[in-house]
Chain A
């Protein structure tokens, strides 16, 4: 039982390049999330999904797209990377319970955009 995994762990991009971050969970969770974490700030929600085939915008969605074609996978895409997207990206999943929904996080992807 691996929990939540993310690939890649590290990546350096040049401005304007594109990439996709992959998140996978093996806990059969309904909900999945993508966050970014920047120094001095809390995690900020980029996009989330409440089930296979559904996605929604979070707090900071601009410049990102997501897809959830399979329940266990949640992809985050950067179409044209910008230096402001340099950050640590965390994926999380949760079972979708009403009151005690605990989020489980992946190990993170450290992205640098030059």
Chain B
């Protein structure tokens, strides 16, 4: 079983739609959680950190459920520019070196 699992997709949605991704993690010692975005043939870039209380950044909302060991990302009012791969990232402990990247969920937003 992978330490961080994501539905690979692809998710194909029309502009303006709301789409949600889930990610599950297996290590209960996981301490920090992130969503990264990766455009085709580009490097990953931090989209947002995920806090225990949940957090929102514009059209993006991230939630953490420690009891069920999953995190989610909700994108409202999808834009064409949201088309990308979204990586779920989990850090075990407090050091940066035990950072586990999910394989990513591909999103295509169509006009």
Contact = CB atoms under 8 A, between A and B. Distances in A.
Contacts of A94: 96
A99 B32 contact: yes
Contact of A42 (B34, B95, B103): B103
Interface string B69-111: 0000000000000000001000100111101111110000000
Contacts of A74: none
The size class of the interface chain A forms with chain B is 20 to 34
Contacts, number: 57
A50 B103 CA distance: 25
Contacts of B42: 107-108
Contacts of B31: 99
Interface of B: 2, 4, 8, 31-32, 34, 41-46, 49, 87, 91, 94-97, 99-104
Interface of A: 31, 33, 35, 40-45, 48, 50, 56, 58, 90, 94, 96, 98-108
